[in-house]
Structure 1
Amino acid sequence: MQSTDQKKFLLQADYAASLRPLLPPEAFLPDRSKIWILLINLAILVLGWTMARHLDQWSWQWMWLYLPFALVMGNSVIALLFSTHDLMHNSAIRNPRVKQALTLAGLALLWMPPTMWKAVHNREHHRKTNSFQDPDRNYLHSQPFSWGKWIQNLFVPSSEVNPILLAVGMTQAWGIHVFRNLTSVLIFVDGTAQYTQASFKVSTKERRKIFWELLAIAALHLGIIAYIGVKPAGLILGYFLPIWIGYAGVIFYIYTNHMMSSLTPVNDPLANSLSLRVPALIDALHFNFSYHTEHHVFPGMNSDYYPVLQGLLQSLYPDRHNLMDATEAWRTMLRTPRHYLNDNVFTDWNGEKMVECPLPRPMG
């Protein structure tokens, strides 16, 4: 039997049942366009690495001309994650070998083995969104000190964060997120890692696949470095800088997706997720990833139809749907602490500051 508090929430299945008949059938068909976009962004990166091979031949006064292309490459890193993310939620690729190759290529620059992504994102995060068992949530104030919690506290946007460490963290937090979760499943096979937000287990078969995929990713990165050559200008501008830009863009979305929401006892996407308003060009480049509540209502839906779904959510659930300008979401994160004191109150590292979660909880 549900508690009184749980009755305030709806399940993802409840929203899906009411909304599915109102959406066009083509919104749920496999979206093969993401395959081509993934390949185009891989081509952009290869072009950038080819240019970087010759940067040592440029006069140093002109190397700044490469920076705009490094920004384009950084966006391609973001696009690779989001296009692969969409492909792994739907059935656009049916051939298992082709799917393995494309998803490995799409996630390699993010150091994320596809089998790990399926476990941590598709299985753990989507089924347990912003609950105590979600590995993507904020740390609890009551969780013991660990290196994972300490680094998160240093880097994540909050009312206490040092601006310099925040800037550094924007380029490094994704890598720390991946390292934290990868080591937790590869080393702590029984799911007892204490440095993650919420530990989880993978099967022996999955662990083996994650290990071999990780080796393939490492080999690919070494291959890129060898292709560019061990030349400071080429490596910094053509390899590290685009990756750092891409990681910063990815982590901005991840920070705002759920980290201002309350912990929820059941998976209610309208209570535990936030959608953002961003410029139309950004939505076009990033596959409508800003429509994150919509994604959690229908994870396998063609993201081109998220604006239609958002209109229905605002019409049917106007008091439950959370939508905020991206700039306002960022400012709000910088005004609030980041550790959960309880399911609806944030506190700081020392437990001295207490602020209610800025996104409203359902009132029943």
Structure 2
Amino acid sequence: MKSEKSLNTLDKTATQTLGEETLIPHSVYAKKLRPLLPSEAFTPDGSKLVILFINMGILLLGWGIAARLDHWPVYLLWLYLPLALIMGNSVIALSFISHDFMHGSVQKKSRLTDLISFLGFAMLFMPPTQWKSLHNIVHHSKTNSLGDPDRNYLYQQPNTWGKWIQNFFVPSLDFNPFWFFIVGMAGSWLFHNFSNLSSILLFNNKSVDYVPAAFTVSVRDRWTIALEFIGILCLHFSILFYLGFHPLKLALGYFLPLAIGHSGIMFYIYTNHLVCRMTSVNDPLINSLSIRVPKIVDRLHFNFSYHTEHHIFPSLNSDYYPLVQELIQTHYPGRMNLLDAGEAWQLLIETPRHYKDEVTLTDYLGKTSVNCPLDNSAVTPLP
């Protein structure tokens, strides 16, 4: 296909132009830093399961209260908004705990693993088997490379419906603030998830061109993903049924918490890699970004802001990510991408959102091109 030829040409040209001498494979970082971490950092932290069930309880409580909203006076309905915000944070917390759970940092695999991961990812409409393939296997092994489903689209890729829709959803130099904040933040996770889900269930072929990078799964996993997704839809339908399909109850008790939760998750995901350069070698200090957020936010979200650290040690207890960051700054000074959350967001809205090559970003029409603002691999000395 024409798209595959374009990708291969880009990969060859970028490698010849940039070389790989300044990039360090992820395994090198892990081998050097692991002996410097305490052994308990790699022991599953089962206490996070308690927090997972607490957040499930918060959602159940919120839906229980929402079921009675039609009996509230109109002038008191605003009192439900703080609870909707807390429920939205519970959606974020469930997602991040489940993320750690699937990496093995919360509990070793058991007979309850499938059920817990199903419940944890249900609010994301994400079948856990799909997550395992997309995130654990593909994204972590091909981070921000041509084969990564989570990267920016390439300018050279066909202008498919997927590429066109994402152009409206992601923050960039030419994004529309109204469209983005009303629809994009809350809807971009669903778009990303369903585009990859449909690619697997309908085609399961790497030639699919409406996603940034298609991946395949086994026949057994494909059926499992389909059944898990049906189960998730049934779970959501049961919530809608419990709320009586009442517009007010659904708006405040269902759609608003999900919108808040999905928006919070996407804030992190947008900053993880999209302003970083692509790399033909999986170098997490170059192709990933960690952000600084208030300490209370890190506690609520299990240090998800330490994203580079996670890519070096995916199965590490997240409580130890700050220590990993200290070690990186000691042994690889100046090499790591680390910004305040506000700075990272500013870079997103000041740069276009498609890759022209490994170190150049351009817009949908190819009219504006800028260097990736975090391309620090060429100026940072190797240890």
TM-score range, shorter chain: over 0.9
1:79 aligns with 2:81: no
Q: Retained in 2: the 8 A contact 1:262–1:361?
A: no
Aligned residue number for residue 336 of structure 2: 321
Query: How do residues 1-364 of structure 1 correspond to structure 2 at under 5 angstroms?
Result: 5-90=19-104, 92-94=106-108, 96-167=110-181, 168-363=183-378
Paired with 2:231 and 2:43, the residues of 1 have a C-alpha distance of 31
Q: Retained in 1: the 8 A contact 2:359–2:375?
A: no
Amino acid at match of 1:161: F
Q: Measured at CA, do residues 295 and 94 of structure 1 come closer, stay the same or move farther in structure 2, by a change above 3 Å?
A: closer
How many residue pairs get matched?
363
Amino acid at match of 1:356: N
Deviation at 1:33, TM superposition (A): 1.6
Aligned residue number for residue 7 of structure 2: none
State, as a whole percentage, how many aligned pairs show the same letter: 53
Deviation at 1:320, TM superposition (A): 1.0
Structure 2 unaligned spans of 5+: 1-14
Amino acid at match of 1:72: I
Q: Retained in 1: the 8 A contact 2:45–2:317?
A: yes
Report the 3-state secondary structure (helix = DSSP H, G, I; strand = E; otherwise coil) of the residue aligned with 2:87: helix
Paired with 1:147 and 1:9, the residues of 2 have a C-alpha distance of 34
Q: Retained in 1: the 8 A contact 2:352–2:361?
A: yes
Report the 3-state secondary structure (helix = DSSP H, G, I; strand = E; otherwise coil) of the residue aligned with 1:334: helix
Deviation at 1:339, TM superposition (A): 0.5
What whole-Å deviation, never above 9, does each CA across 1:227-275 have from its counterpart, x for those lacking one?
A: 1222111110000000000000000100000000000011100000000
Report the 3-state secondary structure (helix = DSSP H, G, I; strand = E; otherwise coil) of the residue aligned with 2:304: coil
Scaled by the length of structure 1, what TM-score is found?
Answer: 0.98
Aligned residue number for residue 8 of structure 2: none
Q: Retained in 2: the 8 A contact 1:34–1:86?
A: no
Amino acid at match of 2:333: P
Deviation at 1:97, TM superposition (A): 3.0
Q: Retained in 2: the 8 A contact 1:260–1:333?
A: yes
Structure 1 unaligned spans of 5+: none
Amino acid at match of 1:173: S
Q: Retained in 2: the 8 A contact 1:8–1:362?
A: yes
Amino acid at match of 1:86: D
Q: Retained in 2: the 8 A contact 1:141–1:341?
A: yes
Amino acid at match of 1:10: I
